[in-house]
Structures are given as structure tokens and as C-alpha cells.
Structure 1
Amino acid sequence: SQALKSLGEYTKANEMLEKFNQSKGDDSRAQKYEAKKNYLEIIEENSGRYSVENAGAINSKYSDYGSAFYGEELVFASARDTGGVFSRKHKWTNQSFTNLYQSKVGGDGNLQEADKFSKSTNSKFHESTPVFTKDGKTMYFTRNNYVDGKKGRSGEKVMLLKILKATLVDDKWGNVVELPFNSNEYSVAHPALSPDDKTLYFASDMPGTLGASDLYKVSIDGDSYGEPENLGAVFNTEARETFPFISDENELYFASDGQLGLGGLDIFVSKMEEDGTFKEVHNVGAPVNGKDDDFAFLIDTQTKFGFFTSNREGGQGYDDIYKFKENIPLPYKCEQTLAIAVVDQETGAVIPNAQITLMDENMQTIEQVFADENGKYTFEKDKIECDKDYTVRVTGINGYSSNEKPVHTAEKTGETFVEIPLEKNRKQITTGTDLAETLQIKNILFDLDKSYIRKDAAAQLALLVEVMNDHPKMKVDVRSHTDSRQTHEYNERLSDRRAKSTINWLIKQGISKDRLTGRGYGETQLINQCADGVECTEEEHQKNRRSEFIVLEM
């Protein structure tokens, strides 16, 4: 199947996956295919989000790959032969052993001509895939098993890979040491650091590995390291998972030829959940991925520029570094803005400078702002999440009543728009006014047999708080009512608890208790026919479970 994908023969490749699934149904690759037989459609949907071009001058006719940001520099591995009296060749590739090089990165992601990175870290064997701590003083990198001038070999006489650590002292890299979980008997390679530098991710075929190579992580505490932990079946398959990179937004990118892809190594990503787990991986799609090997993904989350490595056709060498720009985020990286327009309810004319309050699903204020001269304001993506409930309240201005609307943002990247119409006040607030009616505040509703303030009730009571703050001498009588179910005595006690609960809530919001009175009226003032013995719907009964707010003084 993989060989057919490398030729772009995806229909035939899937036929092979079907046969593989029938004979190896317990293989995770077969299971992934069975669960998502439409994986090509999903990859197609994810595609077209990046613009890609060859990174140009830094590439040679040999292998160039595995880059990392180091300040304004891009550090990468290259097998280019820079000359010398004696040049060692790797028997498998007939290329020079890779060393680390650096190139300055421009603001647009363009690279300058490359130079060797550090003589003290480059040896006569392979060095590759560096990563640097945030302070730029510590580097982890991959090297053949060659430490302190000594070669190490496995029981099968093979020089495997190790992760080494170097420290910057007086502007020179030194103190090169290997990490304690290295071994002569298995490879540990391709380090990546979490945003806080406290977790090291890497690839290895150490005991416990599910496939040819798995992704692992290990905790870092100063110079101490925890026990390596396999990242599990979310990432790892019976094939190769390698070249991890974790962004400042806790997105773990990696390369795999076991996950469902387009051929060879594809680049995948998974977003870390709030509890630190990873639940699902996503193929980043074309043109980053193709039918050849694509790996070593790296992105600057601020500029959206980044680099990856590929051996695709049209390159300058065996492996080339490619530059990309993320133009549209992947679906899981949903970014929403919330656009508000405040208008006159009757005419549709804009109402400028009104105060807008954004609240979360628990009616907690996120931000208070003012509409511009066109009656508009947009809450940017740092305040808004996708697929989430909000409430937007607009405070009355220039003779308009307040109003609010519930908003549910979309599941995909884009803008959610909501128009908030305000109605002009036509009634004068005087002694005896029912604020619920005059200000179009919905009745404060209670659940059956309950006296606690519901979320929707809290939202309405918040409007009453605004009105009373605007009229500091106003005194209000809170009158609570029940439906006819239960006994008269029970309903009287229940309604009294509701009145007191409402008053206490208002006091907690800053309204002085000497401005509030109230009592419960039980079922003595029903507003419909639902008296004792009359069959009514729940909605009809709920209309009687209400509070009223009567102005006593102005």
C-alpha cells in the first residue's frame, strides 16, 4: 500500500489496505483504516492551508533536513561537503556525515547563505535535529553513538543514535554530555522541547516500543530526568513515528508512515488538551504532505512561517528544507471572532458608543467595551472560543432600554455576527412602575419547588442592578409568586424564600439592603387559569412562578 501511494495510486493502495485489514485486523494501522475509510477525503479537506516553496540557497545537492529556531537563526543538519584535506563518507549514502549549519531567518521566512554552526558540537560522525531552550543556553541534539572521542556499538556492532546535551559558556558550546536514558542497544533521537522547557519529546526504539520507532517524553528538572514515557497508541503504530516538534501553543507535530497518510512519512499534529493528554491526530494535508517523505515540521506560531523537510521531486538534493506559511489554520485550531452591531429596533439605525458586556456561559463578565461610532465592536480570537456559549449585553444609552442576547459561536474558523437591537424607552419610571414590564425584563423564573437563582434569572437580575445603579434613590419591592401546585401554606413559604433569595442576590451585587423590600404571595395572584384542580402544561404553570419588581420610591 505504501509503495502504491508513492506512485500516487491511491485507489490500488486502499485495495491493499482492505486486504491488510482482513489478514491483520489486530494491527493498529488496519484498525485506523477501518475506522476512517474516508481518510483521503479528510486529508483533502485539511489541504490547501499552507503555501510552500523550496527554502532555496540553504539547500545543497546532498541531504539538508531537521531544522530548529535559535534566536534569529535556523539551525539544521546537512551532508554537504565543505572541503578539507580529508572528507569522511558514510558507506550507506556515499555522502559526507551530517553536521549542523545555521542560516539567518528574515521576517518573511527567507534564509541567508548557511555557515557551520559550532565546531565543538560537530564531530566526524552524524549530528542532526537540534533544539534549544528558551534562554538559548542549552542545546539538545542527535549524534551517532560517539561521546568523548569514543565510539559505542550495539551487540550487533552497529553505531546507533543518542541525544546529547551541550551548554553555552562564554558564547561557545561545550560540556557535551549524553542523556542518562541513552543506550548502546537502541536509538534515542530527534529531541523536541515543550514550551516551558520542562518536558523533552523524542523518538526511540527502546524496549516497550510499539513499532519501528515510537514517540516518547521525559520530564526535566534541572539536570535530572524522569523515566521515559511512551506517548501511546494515539501517536504510535507498528511503523515509524519520529521527528517530534511541539509549538508554543502545545501542538505536537510529528512524522509517521503508520498513520493514515498520502505516502511515505506524512506530517501529523495533535493538540494537547487542558489535562495534558492528546486525543486525536490530524494529517496537515497537501501541499506540506505528498507521496514522498515529509518530516521535521517547525513553525513560528506568531509569524505563521515555518519549515519542513521533504525528498519530493523537484528538490535540489536528496532531502531539502522547504519554507511554508500557514494561511488557514487546521479545523482543530478553530479561531473565532465575535462581531457586535448595536441598532435601533424600529429603524435599524446604528447606535454609537453603547456599552457592551461579554459574559461566559456562567454569566461571568469577560470584558466590557464600547461600540464605535458605527455601533460596532469585534471581540478578537483571544477572547472568543469556537463552539461555545456566550451572552452579550448592551446597556441602554440615550433613552434606549438595555438588551442582551445569547450567542453560540461556530465550530469552524471565522466570524460569528450578532445584532443587538435596542428599543427606545417610551414609559416614564415612576412610583408604582413594574420594572419587569417597563424595561422588558423577563419575569425571574424558578424551577419547581426551588428558590435558588437560575442562570437565566441571574442574567435578568443583572439588568435590574443596572437600572437601580442608574437611579440611586430608587427603592424596589420584590414580590414573589408560585403556581397552584402544593398547598397554600407550602406555596406561601416557598414564595417567601424566593423573594428573600432574590433580594440577597441583589444585595451581593452591591444594591443597599435598605433599598429593597419584599415578600412572597404564594398562589394568591395567579396570572392565568391554572388554579387548584385545573389541568395545565408545565409552561403555563411556570408563568406563575415569577417575581415582580415594583418601584416604591424614586
Structure 2
Amino acid sequence: MLMAIRSPRSMATLLALMNSCSATISVLEKMELPAHGFFRPMKHFTRYLIAILLLAGTQLMAQSRHQKLGDERYNRLAYAKAIPHYKKAIKKTPENVDLVYRLAHSYYLIRDFSGAEAWYTKLMQMEGIPAESHFEYGHVLLQQKRYQEAKSAFAKYQELKPADERGGRFAEALANMKSWYRDSAAYFVENLPFNSRSSDFGAVRFRDGVVFASSRPAGTPTDLIYEGLNAHFLNLYYVKLKDETANNWGNPDMMKGGIRTRFHESSFTVDTSGTLAFFSRNNFLDGKKGKNDAKTILLKIYSLEIKGDKVGNIAEFPFNDDAYSLTHPSISPDGRHLYFSSDMPGGAGGKDIYVSHRQGESWSKPENLGPAINTSGNEVFPFIAQDGNFYFASDGHPGIGNLDIFQTRLSDKGSKIRNIGAPINSEFDDFAIFWNPGNETGYFSSNRPGGEGDDDIYRFKMELPTIQIFVKDSVSQFPIEKAELVLSDTNGVLIASQLTDSTGRGSFKVALANHYRIKVKTLEFDDYDLLVDPQTESGASQFDYYVTLYNPPPAITAHVIDEGSKTAIPNAKIALRRYGSPDTIFRQSDRFGRFSVKLNPNSQYELMVQKEGYFAFKSELSTSRDGFEGDTLIPMRLEPVELDKPMILANIHYDFDKWELREEAMAELFKLGILLEDNPKISIELGAHTDARGSDTYNQKLSERRAKSARNFLISLGISGDRIAYSGYGESQPINECSNGVKCSERQHFANRRTEFTIIGYEGKIIHKPGLPNE
């Protein structure tokens, strides 16, 4: 046990609600709470944790002796002692609205809901009653499971106090209250054996056990009684855990040393290193009491250092103030953020939750967590778990009981506030949740019936639901084995990963309170992002998700280069047209001659690459599985256009003394027609040649007829005649030695009977040559 450790005391909810103690301490110490502080009933300390605004009733002109005695105790927060005086006084003035309200309110504050219900019912029949009484009456009815009547009471409060959003929230939430019981089967809850007949609450893990606050008798000369609750002051205790499975614990030991005082200590919190802790205590340090202007001793936060079995350097949190309370400290797992509850000026209502950030050896000015968290009610007992979930107790957010536990994620903008529901929340006060590492087990406190005393500590275990993911191929419908499943939170923080098995299945255990993202990754298919929200399901322990993966869109990356120099060709224009589609994809090569484009699967494309000064490159692409390999660098070689360089058209030959085109000649000219169509800016000359047999004059005319025949064929294909010149060269330009008088074979003569084309211009205009017979 740690002999030198102990934390602030407050009766179960006392710390949450309680604000102060009186300035005078006697053998029977009297602690008082400020009029706007947190209070706690004699029977159940929980209400102290929530801090309800006390309403000052109108003073009657004449008051009975019992009413005066009742008011004296009521103003001192001794509600149980005020009740018998009010009951006697009300016999004389049964229509006194202020008196009936204070009696009903006293029952409400000590959690005697049967008595409260009777007097609030009478109050509802009177005129001029406080608007807050409808809200309180709604809570009484809620605790008694009279939900429809509770909804009406909250709606009435909303009508009277439209600026206070709580009435509308509660009325609306009651219409959807089934969601509060949705996850009941996911939790196992048990009472812990070290609870006493007094108030025990606020358990947090520390070393091999837990630290908690308790008002059990300390058995010491300074063990004082707090009159407002007729109970002992709170002290911090440490109890060792022997066997959690068997719920076997040691005996609690009070944490002493410099922590314990004559006043309340509770709400212990320690960072994961176990060396820095904080706790709450009445304003008392080094034997001196701090008081506000009303001479009340409020709550403050203190830090302490832990080294081995010793503690030291107890110091005030730098933003404590004698004028208001700071309580319920909770440090983040990384030790960088301290959350706490306070009624400091500028808040939304009773108590708000604030955060201070560690900056080296100091702490930043506290920041209010804002209207998403804080309401005009009370928000207390903050806690942030290792998985980033933020928890707190509130009577301002709609709940099952008066004080419920809620969850959200501070790191997610727009994250909703979620009532974690039954069985952790009940019709009574539930608060001070703590999750153990791993987020499967933890502790919370409650004043629900069936416990050992007033407030008790409960252990819970969460049966984490299983998420199953089944992955299959969109085409074959077969399962995909070894697909990587990456589980992360909504901020992208990795939680776990695994590979699917031979059935395409993978699974994770997750918490109901969270949203998750699962990325499905493979080498062959597109990645798939899945948003998982198990809390939207109802009562299930397993959630199945089916993922169909599709092949990524085929893509080509091409390299446009000069066929001669092999250098890159920048700014080439690319056009891709999918057969069967009217749309064309346009691209342009970059300074490295490259371009990329995604294509549709199982499709046929026509590709055209054009660049000034080059012949167009034309090709067909197929993205069928068998005929295409995506993301491959495809070279596209463009031939430079050279003027006045004759190019022989293969297979354009003629029979002896004929100018009619042979079939193979037509096929070759058809290719030339395509080239002219693909390169609309060039103009050509068709030049025909004969062999040396026959006279020169005859051969000249024969070659002109052959050239004209080729030109006419191209025109018949739709090529403009303005782009085609023709010329007959007769036998003047043989390609072998077969000139006049030379004996040659028929094969040699056949080679000279040929047709050539020469590029002679751009932009569709012919550059005329002398003697060129153009038409």
C-alpha cells in the first residue's frame, strides 16, 4: 500500500456538486455549500456531484417558527433536517407556494423521490410556482419510470424557459429512449466488495489496485462529521486488486502523509508514468484555510509528485481561486491535458468542464469545452480513455436518471454526445467512469438501489462486438485471400491490421462507442474505404460487412519520342476515343514527352498523337484483361516530316503498258489515304515512273496517266485534290541500270514501274514545282 497517498474527499457526488465548507471548524465540523454550489443529500451523496442551483424563495411577511427553522436548515443545505419543520409549518399555511416548493425540493435533493413526487404533485396544482420545479418534477418522474409524464414536465419547462435548451432536449430524448437500453447485453456489471455503508466513489487504477474516495468512518480523533450530510468527511483510500476475475480485493487503507486533512479529499487522478497525480480538496494547505467573501471554504485542485512509496511537493493548481471551485481533475493518458469541473465565472450553467494544457513545467489558462459539452446544468467527473473517447457525467444532457454518463470524441469536430445507456446508466445518479487500458473493463459509481451503502463503486466488463469483413472479386465473385484490412479511428490513427483468410474473411473486436474506418488493400484491385459504426446496430454482438473489390481503371503512361533522334517530344496532342462512345479524351505530353490517362476496363480505344512537323501516330488499344497490362510505359515513336524526300509506295506497280491500278496497288493507296486523313496539314506529289522500253515520249505520257490514276483513287477516298499534285517522270529516273539499250530481266523492268509520293507542303497548300501538271 502507498502510505503517503490520498485524494480529495467528496461524498460520491459530493465532489461533483459540493463547493465549500464553513469557515468555523469544531469537534463536529460543519461544512456548508454556497447557494450556487453543488450539494449532496443526506441519503445519497450523488447530487452533490452535480451541483444544482438553489432557488431563493420569496419571504413571507409573517413566518411561523417552524418555517424559520426549516429555512435556516435549508439555507445551510441540511435538507433532511429542514423537512420536518416544513411539514409542520405547511399545516398552518398549506397554500404557501414557497413553502411547498422548498419541501418538495428538499425531498428531491436528498433523493427521497417518493416524498418529492407527492409534494411536486401538489405544487403543480398551484399558481406562481418556479419554472425550475417542472424540470425537477420531470427528473422525479423519470426516476419512477413514468416517462410520458416526465416528457410533459420537461416540455412545460421548455415552454417557460425557452432559453434553457435542457427541457427540449429531455422531452425529445424521451421519445427515443429505447436507444438508452440498446447495448445493455454488451455489459456485465458487479458491485465491488470493498464498498462500505457510507459513500464510496471515483475509483481509478493505480499500480496494483485502485484509489477511491470514501466517507466511511476513519476512526481517528480528527474524524469529523459534516452536518449537511450527517456523514463523515471524505478521504482517499487505496485497495489492492488480488484477482479481478474472482472479484477478490484486499482491505482498503487510507492514503495519509501530506494528503489527508480534516476536510474533503477525493477525485484522484494519475498519469500513466505513475509519478504525477492530482486530487481535489477543500481550500486547505499547510494548515491554513482559504475562504471566499461568504466565509466558505471551496474546492481546489492540488498536484503531488510520487516517488516509490512516498509523495511530496503538494501544490495548488495555478488557476485555483478562493472565489470559486475547481474539482474532479482527470489527466490525459499522455499527461499533456488536465480536464476538470468548475463553477468559475463565464460558464454555461452550474458546473462546466474545462481543460488546461501542459506547457513545459507550467499549465495553460483553462479553456471551457464549449456548448457541445457544457449545458446550463452540471457537467462533472471528466475522463479521457486511452482510445481517445471522452466521458463525463451530466444532468444537463438527456439521460435515464438524474446524473448520467456520456461519451464523445473531442478530437472529432461534430462528434455527437452519446448517452452510454444501461446498464451503466440507471434511473439514479451514475458518474465517475474509469476505463482500464484495453477499454474492455473499468469502474463507475452509482447510488442505485441494491448497493452496499449510499454511493457504491461498480466494476463493468464490456463484451466487445466483432466486426467481420468479407472481401470478394467483382468479376469472378470469388473470395480474395490475403487482402490487407487496416483498422483506424476516424482521425486515421492505426489500431490494428490483418490479412483475410482463404474465405476472404477478416475480423476485429471494437468498442460500441466508436466510429472506425477500415481500408481494404490489395495489389490487384482498387483500395476500398469502409466506415464502421457498430453503435447504429441494435443488440448485436457481431456485425458483418461485405466488400466487393473492382479492378482499378486501366491506365496507360506513354512516352512520345522522335523516331530518328530518340529524344522526347513535348506538347504533343493526344486524343483517345472509346469505340461506342461519342466522347474523346484529350491530353498533352509534358516536357519529358510523357502523358498518363485512365481508361475503362474491357474497352477498345483509338489513339492519335499529333505534333507539328511529325506524322501523326495512330494506334488502337484494348483494355481487356488478356490484352492489356495497365500502368506500362508505352513508347510512341513519331516520324519527322521531311520535305522533297521521295518515298516509294510499296506494291504500286503496273502491268506492261497499262495505267490501271492493280488490287494490291489500291490497298497501298488506301493506306496513303489514311495517312493524309490523319495528317490534314500536309500536301503531296504523286510521281509515276516507267521502265525504259518504248519511246521516251510514250513513257512520259504513260507515267502521267499512272500518276493521275493514283491521284483519282485518293480523291475517291475523300482526300481533297487541292492537296495532291501528280507528275509523270517516264523512264528518266530508273532505280537500277536498266536504261535505254540495256538488256534487263522482266523483274528489273518491273522495279522501275513504280509510284512515289513526296511531301511538298503544309496547311493543305501545294508548293508548286516547275513543270508540275497539277489539276
Match of 1:502 in 2: 596
Deviation per residue, 1:410-434 (Å, 9 max, x gap): 543634244779xxxxxxxxxxxxx
1:412 pairs, out of 528, 534, 537, with: 534
Residues 144 and 39 of structure 1, relative CA distance in 2, 3 Å threshold: farther
- Using the TM superposition, name which of 80-89 and 294-303 deviates more: 80-89
Match of 1:378 in 2: 506
Secondary structure, counterpart of 2:245 in structure 1: coil
1:67 pairs, out of 203, 206, 209, with: 203
**For residues 111-260 of structure 1, what are the structure 2 equivalents within 5 Å?**
111-169=249-307, 171-260=309-398
1:82 pairs, out of 208, 215, 218, with: 218
Q: Which has the larger radius of gyration?
A: 2
Cα distance in 2 for partners of 1:108, 1:230 equals 39
Deviation per residue, 1:452-475 (Å, 9 max, x gap): xxxx53xx449x9xxxxxxxxxxx
Residues 548 and 525 of structure 1, relative CA distance in 2, 3 Å threshold: farther
Once the 2 structures are TM-superposed, how far is the Cα of residue 174 of structure 1 from its aligned partner? 1.6
Cα distance in 2 for partners of 1:280, 1:492 equals 45
CA contact 1:21–1:31 (8 Å) conserved in 2: yes
Cα distance in 2 for partners of 1:69, 1:278 equals 31
What amino acid maps onto 2:522 in structure 1? R
Secondary structure, counterpart of 1:13 in structure 2: helix
2:609 pairs, out of 520, 530, 552, with: 520
Match of 1:41 in 2: 178
CA contact 2:587–2:595 (8 Å) conserved in 1: no
Match of 2:576 in 1: 481
Secondary structure, counterpart of 2:231 in structure 1: coil
2:453 pairs, out of 299, 317, 321, with: 317
Residues 303 and 137 of structure 1, relative CA distance in 2, 3 Å threshold: same
Cα distance in 1 for partners of 2:497, 2:177 equals 45
Cα distance in 2 for partners of 1:249, 1:95 equals 38
Residue-pair matches, total = 448
Secondary structure, counterpart of 2:445 in structure 1: strand
Residues 368 and 112 of structure 1, relative CA distance in 2, 3 Å threshold: closer
Match of 2:240 in 1: 104
CA contact 1:481–1:525 (8 Å) conserved in 2: no
Once the 2 structures are TM-superposed, how far is the Cα of residue 208 of structure 1 from its aligned partner? 0.8
Once the 2 structures are TM-superposed, how far is the Cα of residue 380 of structure 1 from its aligned partner? 4.2
Cα distance in 2 for partners of 1:360, 1:526 equals 42
Match of 2:34 in 1: none
Secondary structure, counterpart of 1:494 in structure 2: strand
Deviation per residue, 1:190-213 (Å, 9 max, x gap): 100122211111011111122111
**For residues 339-418 of structure 1, what are the structure 2 equivalents within 5 Å?**
339-340=470-471, 345=476, 355-356=482-483, 372=501, 374-378=502-506, 380=508, 390=519, 392-393=521-522, 406=528, 408-412=530-534, 414-418=543-547
Residues 552 and 262 of structure 1, relative CA distance in 2, 3 Å threshold: closer
Q: What are structure 2's unaligned runs of at least 5 residues? A: 1-137, 536-542, 558-573, 599-606, 611-615, 636-775
Secondary structure, counterpart of 1:501 in structure 2: strand
Cα distance in 1 for partners of 2:360, 2:588 equals 62
CA contact 2:485–2:500 (8 Å) conserved in 1: no
Match of 1:295 in 2: 431
Secondary structure, counterpart of 2:335 in structure 1: coil
Once the 2 structures are TM-superposed, how far is the Cα of residue 494 of structure 1 from its aligned partner? 3.4
Match of 2:187 in 1: 50
Once the 2 structures are TM-superposed, how far is the Cα of residue 47 of structure 1 from its aligned partner? 3.9
Residues 109 and 124 of structure 1, relative CA distance in 2, 3 Å threshold: farther
CA RMSD of aligned residues (A): 4.3
Once the 2 structures are TM-superposed, how far is the Cα of residue 39 of structure 1 from its aligned partner? 3.9
CA contact 2:576–2:586 (8 Å) conserved in 1: no
Once the 2 structures are TM-superposed, how far is the Cα of residue 118 of structure 1 from its aligned partner? 3.0
What amino acid maps onto 2:379 in structure 1? E
Cα distance in 2 for partners of 1:480, 1:494 equals 7
Residues 79 and 420 of structure 1, relative CA distance in 2, 3 Å threshold: same
Secondary structure, counterpart of 2:371 in structure 1: coil
**For residues 6-17 of structure 1, what are the structure 2 equivalents within 5 Å?**
6-17=143-154
Cα distance in 2 for partners of 1:552, 1:98 equals 79
What amino acid maps onto 2:596 in structure 1? T
Cα distance in 2 for partners of 1:194, 1:226 equals 15
Residues 492 and 386 of structure 1, relative CA distance in 2, 3 Å threshold: closer
CA contact 1:216–1:230 (8 Å) conserved in 2: yes
1:22 and 2:159 are equivalent in the alignment: yes
What's the % identity of the aligned pairs?
30
Once the 2 structures are TM-superposed, how far is the Cα of residue 3 of structure 1 from its aligned partner? 1.7
CA contact 1:388–1:409 (8 Å) conserved in 2: yes
What amino acid maps onto 1:236 in structure 2? N
What amino acid maps onto 1:10 in structure 2? Y
Once the 2 structures are TM-superposed, how far is the Cα of residue 85 of structure 1 from its aligned partner? 4.3
What amino acid maps onto 1:262 in structure 2? I
Residues 174 and 496 of structure 1, relative CA distance in 2, 3 Å threshold: closer
Once the 2 structures are TM-superposed, how far is the Cα of residue 80 of structure 1 from its aligned partner? 1.0
Secondary structure, counterpart of 2:167 in structure 1: helix
Deviation per residue, 1:436-459 (Å, 9 max, x gap): xxxxx7xxxxxxxxxxxxxx53xx
Deviation per residue, 1:474-513 (Å, 9 max, x gap): xxxxx9723699x99xx7973767993239x9xxxxxxxx
Q: TM-score if structure 2 supplies the norm length?
A: 0.51
Q: What are structure 1's unaligned runs of at least 5 residues? A: 330-334, 396-402, 422-440, 442-455, 465-478, 506-517, 528-542
What amino acid maps onto 2:595 in structure 1? S
Deviation per residue, 1:262-311 (Å, 9 max, x gap): 1211111111225xx56321111011111111111111141511111111
